[in-house]
Structure 1
Amino acid sequence: MTTTLVIGATGTTGSRTAARLAAAGHRVRAASRGGDPRFDWYAPATHAAALDGADAVYLVPPVGDTDPAAVMLPFLRRARDAGVRRAVLLSSSAIPPGGPAVGEVHAALPGLFDAWAVLRPSWFMQNFTGDHPHAESIRTTGTLASATGTGRVAFIDADDIAAVAAHALTAGDAPNRDLVLTGPEALGYDDIAAVLTEVTGRRVTHRRLSCEQLRERLATRLPAEFAALLAALDRTVAEGAEDRTTGEVQALTGRPPACFRTVAARELARADR
């Protein structure tokens, strides 16, 4: 039986991917900074134990790092030499191969592994739930702040990303391409606020910021360079870059992706338990 190393196994997609693989009977090594095995991108001494005996790896880049290739590429070469034959990378629909941040890792992946996939999901529906800053703002002020203007995004459920990840890690033939993953419809932040108002019974409004205002807001809690990157991504949404849907989720999992209203109601029910 093969062993799949899941990096970031306590995170939004990593935890869901690890759970799906285990439920399907696959051997999973769930690695995280506080887990067993412990894994830290910036601590190479933790890498050997995580890789020992692994055949495939699910890669979640280090959070907040604008140059993840610096730590990820040495690890991937080490993984290949240790016997890993398949790698599935979590990237973003906004970042092309060779682009900024994880785009450099995306571009290098096909040269490192014969079996691979790059998941390029749109923005997560879970950005509006749990501990995400959007969710915190919604709970505390009833507002959702962005620099997206009237731009639309086909937000995707993290459960759907995990379903695609599990398929890409275990299918007989790896996709060997990048997969742009979206939900079933493109929504503006005004639409998101309206759905949340209906589902929660509490008024939620979209507060429109300029890119500069958003950058300054984010820089109060994030490194300045990363805050600038996130604000620039909002600008691309405003310009229409994410106003699209794809059929990749259904093609790879056999079922359509979840809509935002369904996910919002599901997450609210979970929070009330």
Structure 2
Amino acid sequence: MTAATLVIGATGTTGGRVARLLTERGRTVRAASRRAVPVAGAEAVRFDWYDPGTFEEALRGVDRVYLVPPVGDPDPAAVMLPFLERARTFGVGRAVLLGSSAIPSGGPAVGQVQQALPRLFETWAALRPSWFMQNFTGDHEHARSIREEGTIRTATGDGRVAFVDADDIAAVAAHALTTDGRVAEDLVITGPEALSHADAAAVLSEVTGRPVTHRRLTCEQLRDRLARDLPPEFAAVLAALDGAIAQGAEDRVTDTVERLTGRPPRSLRAHVERAWTSAVGGR
């Protein structure tokens, strides 16, 4: 029997894409989500980070796993590390973690999970993507405010970010899950150019023909705005990340996508053009 790849968060932005790429390549995939929703060509399995009773069935017959941390949890290691210990006992030898370019190994939140991977698995990789292009075109708060108000609100100032398409993240994940032998372990994933949010607003305006502007907030204003819908401590973390961008923390471009997939990463303009064409064509 061929061992399977467990894709956690298989209904999410990167997980669904990873599951589809793997099944297209003929891999056996177990698509894990809280509602066990089927993903094309994959076996659906129920999985909940906060319900250890779902761990054993999800891990049955699995030798590698794609890890998407629980959304909005400021301490994901508390639930992820017990699962990873269990995964090791089930014979999982490879783990690929979705992290963040803003959080290094040993840092807070998912950084604590990345730090534990070398002692748990023979082969591992931590994907540390920059901010998703889908934040401007999907269901993120930015995308909603763009559609409803023509506004992007951040505390990033003139700080630049090499926004990355989730398709490119998934392609790197699929490579890390399937390549023979050892994989590069700390992979910062970016798009092809670093842009300010004002630059991004200009691209959105030009492609859609609808004016989009970047409204600058202070970190305190952003924190208070986010705290309307999020726990205060998590809102403060997110606001601080914007502050770090304003100081240049994300102003970098890496060659990870092209080096590992053999093709250049998609530009923000190309992403918006594709998303806009799809949206208009679907009306």
Normalised by the length of structure 1, the TM-score is: 0.99
Instruction: Give the corresponding residue for 2:39.
Output: none
CA deviations over 1:208-258 (Å, ceiling 9, x no partner):
000000000000011111111110000010000000000011110001100
SS of equivalent residue, structure 2 residue 45: coil
Does structure 1 residue 184 correspond to structure 2 residue 200? Answer: no
Percent identity between the two aligned chains: 67
SS of equivalent residue, structure 1 residue 175: coil
CA deviations over 1:122-149 (Å, ceiling 9, x no partner):
0000010121100000011110000000
Size of the alignment, in residue pairs?
Answer: 273
CA deviations over 1:53-84 (Å, ceiling 9, x no partner):
10100000000000000000000000000111
**C-alpha deviation, 1:268, in angstroms:** 1.2
CA deviations over 1:88-124 (Å, ceiling 9, x no partner):
0000000010101100000010110010000000000
Instruction: Give the corresponding residue for 2:104.
Output: 96
Q: Give the whole-Å Cα distance in 1 for the aligned partners of 2:89 and 2:277.
A: 46
Segments of 5+ residues of structure 1 without an aligned counterpart are: none
Q: Which of 71, 74, 93 is residue 85 of structure 1 equivalent to?
A: 93
Instruction: Give the corresponding residue for 2:16.
Output: 15
Instruction: Give the corresponding residue for 2:28.
Output: 27
Does structure 1 residue 232 correspond to structure 2 residue 240? Answer: yes
1:7 touches 1:31 (CA, 8 Å); kept in 2?
A: yes
After the TM superposition, which residues 6-155 of structure 1 pair with which residues of structure 2 at under 5 Å, given as runs?
Answer: 6-35=7-36, 36-155=44-163
Q: Give the whole-Å Cα distance in 1 for the aligned partners of 2:92 and 2:172.
A: 20
Q: Give the whole-Å Cα distance in 1 for the aligned partners of 2:91 and 2:261.
A: 28
Q: Give the whole-Å Cα distance in 1 for the aligned partners of 2:263 and 2:69.
A: 27
Does structure 1 residue 5 correspond to structure 2 residue 13? Answer: no
Segments of 5+ residues of structure 2 without an aligned counterpart are: 37-43
Q: Which of 179, 185, 194 is residue 171 of structure 1 equivalent to?
A: 179
Q: Give the whole-Å Cα distance in 1 for the aligned partners of 2:232 and 2:23.
A: 39
C-alpha RMSD of matched pairs (Å): 0.7
SS of equivalent residue, structure 1 residue 58: strand
**C-alpha deviation, 1:174, in angstroms:** 3.3
**C-alpha deviation, 1:269, in angstroms:** 1.5
Instruction: Give the corresponding residue for 1:206.
Output: 214
SS of equivalent residue, structure 1 residue 37: strand
SS of equivalent residue, structure 2 residue 14: helix
Instruction: Give the corresponding residue for 2:269.
Output: 261
Normalised by the length of structure 2, the TM-score is: 0.95
SS of equivalent residue, structure 1 residue 180: strand
**C-alpha deviation, 1:2, in angstroms:** 2.9
The letter for the 1-side match of 2:235 is: A
The letter for the 1-side match of 2:84 is: L
The letter for the 2-side match of 1:21 is: L
- Larger mean CA deviation between 176-185 and 72-81 belongs to 176-185
1:8 touches 1:60 (CA, 8 Å); kept in 2?
A: yes
